Structure 1
C-alpha cells in the first residue's frame, strides 16, 4: 500500500511546526512528508511502522523520521474509543537545520543527528517521557521561547547515545513512486491551485472517477469532504496572511480562493470561532505583549 502525502503547513512567522493531535486523526495513517519529524506518543500502546520496520510502542515512544520516510502508529483501542492528545509532533525542514548550524558551530551535532534519521531513529521510552512535556510546551509557545525549547530538545536527543535505527539499510526511500498514487496527485493539485476555482467535478475528472466515486474516495483518504478540505486549507492560508501581512480582509478573502466575502467570514467564524478582524487584532495584541516583555527583559 502506498503511503499518503501529508502537507505540512508551517506558518510564515515560524521556522518549524509543533502540534498535538488525538487518535484517531486524519494524519494518523501510513503517510510521508519531505520534512523531518520528531514524534512522541503520550498515551496508549500498539504497533508502529517506519519504512520496513514494525515494532511495539507504549507511552514515551520517541522516533525521529527523515524526509519522505513513511510512518504510522496504530493504537490498540476499541472501535469508538479515542485517545486525546496521543501524539505530540515536531516537524522541520533540512534547510532550517542547516541555517541554524551555519550560524552556530555548537549546533553541528544536530546535523549529525538528523542525518541518521534517514532510516528512522528510536530513543528509549524514558527519554520520550522526559521530552514529552517540553514538546507539549513547545506546541503552545510563541516567539523566542519556541527556539529555546527546540534547542533543549535537540540537546537532549543529540547527547543520547542509546539509539536504534529502524528501517533496514536496503530500504529505498523513493518519494517519486509514492507521488504517483491518485490521492497524492489530487492533494498536490489542490494545493497548487488553491487560489483559483476548484470544482469537485473537475478534480474528479482529473482523477478519472465519477463525482460520486471521487466523493467516497476523497473522504476515505482525508476524513472529510472535498469542500471541507478546501475550506480548511483556504482558512489556514487566510490565517497566515492575517498574521503576516497588511492586506485587508477583503483582499485576503479573494487571494485564498473565496469568491464571496460573506461566505469567507462565515467559514472563518465556523473554523476559528471568531471573525477574521478579531483574529488579526488578537494576534497583534499577542505580538505587542511579547515585544513589551522582551523590551522589559533587555532593560533589566
Structure 2
C-alpha cells in the first residue's frame, strides 16, 4: 500500500433526511482498504492497534487515534489482530460533503475560522489524544442522534477539532493523491449530480457533456473511479434508496419502484434481486419481523 497504488473510490450515500453520515464499523470490514471519497471524513479508532496510511504518511495507531481526512485523500487503517479475531466496533466515522461545510460558513460568517481546519485537512490531520478522548462520546452519540441534537453534535465536534492547536499535518506537500486530478474533479462533479438526480431519467451522454468529455472518455474514467459502469452505479443508488423506503413508511412496492427512478416493476424486482438476493416484498417482510422482535424484547 502506498502512493503508487490507485485507491478505490468509496461511494458515500446520504439518506434523504441527512446532510452527513455518522456510523461505526468493526474489523475486518469492506471499507478497510486503500480508498478515497470526495467527502471530508473524521475517523476515530475505538479499539485495536495497527498501522494507518494517509497519502504518503504511515503511522501507528492506538485507541483514541483521531484523524480528519480532506476530499479525495487516500487513506486506510489496518489493525493487527491475531488469527481470525474480529472486533465489533473498531472505529467511529463521520463523513460530510464539501458543500455542507462551505454553506455553513456562508450562512454563519462567525464560523469562517473553520476554513483553516478544512484547508489543512486536505493533507490529513492527526489530533492530540485529549481531543480524541473528548470526541468519542460526541461521535458515539451521533450514530444514533436525530433532529436538532444531531446538528448540534456535529457543530460541537467541528468546533472541538478547530481548537486543537497541537494537530499535526500528515501527508507531505509533495504528495498528489491522483496523477489525473483534473479528471478526478470531473468525475466527482458527475457523482454529485447523479447523487441528487438518480431518481430521474439519466443518460450517459448528458453526464459526459456536463463534464466536458466524450462519452467514451467519460465511460472509462467513470469505471476507473467507481469500479462500476454508469448504469450499474445508478441502479446501486436506486436500490439503496428503495431499501430506505421499504423500511421507512408504507409506500407500495410499485410506488417505490417509480419513486426511485425505475420505469417498470419487473426491472426493479430484477435489479433488487441481483443486489440483495431477495425480492422487495421479502426484504420488507424480513424488516417487519425484525421490528416485531425488537418491540417484544
TM-score normalized with structure 1 length: 0.69
Q: Partner of 2:107 in structure 1?
A: 103
Deviation of 1:3 after TM superposition, in Å, equals 0.7
Q: Distance in 1 between matches of 2:285 and 2:135?
A: 30
Unaligned ranges ≥5, structure 2: 202-218, 221-226, 273-277, 292-297
Q: Partner of 1:154 in structure 2?
A: 158
Deviations 1:53-72 (A, max 9, x none): 00000000000010100000
Moved more, 107-116 or 250-259: 250-259
Contact 2:26 2:87 in 1 (8 A): yes
Deviations 1:241-294 (A, max 9, x none): 568999643122254558447775834654894259x99xxxxxxxxxxxxxxx
1:111–1:252 Cα change, 3 Å: same
Contact 1:43 1:86 in 2 (8 A): yes
1:268–1:16 Cα change, 3 Å: farther
**Aligned match for 2:279, one of 263, 266, 269:** 266
Contact 2:51 2:79 in 1 (8 A): yes
Q: Distance in 2 between matches of 1:13 and 1:175?
A: 35
1:141 to 2:145 alignment: yes
1:107–1:234 Cα change, 3 Å: same
Deviation of 1:94 after TM superposition, in Å, equals 1.3
Deviations 1:126-169 (A, max 9, x none): 21122111101101111111101011111111111011100001
Q: Distance in 2 between matches of 1:270 and 1:3?
A: 33
Deviation of 1:178 after TM superposition, in Å, equals 11
* SS of aligned partner of 2:47: coil
Deviation of 1:237 after TM superposition, in Å, equals 1.1
Unaligned ranges ≥5, structure 1: 197-205, 208-220, 223-228, 280-300
1:246-285 → structure 2 map (5 Å cutoff):
248-254=252-258, 255=260, 257=262, 259-260=265-266, 266-267=279-280, 269-270=282-283, 273-274=286-287
Contact 2:6 2:178 in 1 (8 A): no
**Alpha-carbon RMSD:** 3.7
1:39-54 → structure 2 map (5 Å cutoff):
39-54=43-58
TM-score normalized with structure 2 length: 0.70
**Aligned match for 1:114, one of 106, 118, 122:** 118
Contact 1:237 1:256 in 2 (8 A): no
Contact 2:10 2:36 in 1 (8 A): yes
**Aligned match for 1:56, one of 53, 56, 60:** 60
Contact 1:41 1:86 in 2 (8 A): yes
1:200-279 → structure 2 map (5 Å cutoff):
233-241=237-245, 248-254=252-258, 255=260, 257=262, 259-260=265-266, 266-267=279-280, 269-270=282-283, 273-274=286-287
1:68 to 2:81 alignment: no
Contact 1:66 1:120 in 2 (8 A): yes
Q: Partner of 2:39 in structure 1?
A: 35
Contact 2:254 2:265 in 1 (8 A): no
Q: Distance in 1 between matches of 2:17 and 2:180?
A: 30
**Aligned match for 1:90, one of 91, 94, 99:** 94
Q: Distance in 2 between matches of 1:62 and 1:122?
A: 6
Deviations 1:3-28 (A, max 9, x none): 10000011122111111111111111
Deviations 1:16-46 (A, max 9, x none): 1111111111111100000100000000000
Total equivalences in the alignment: 243
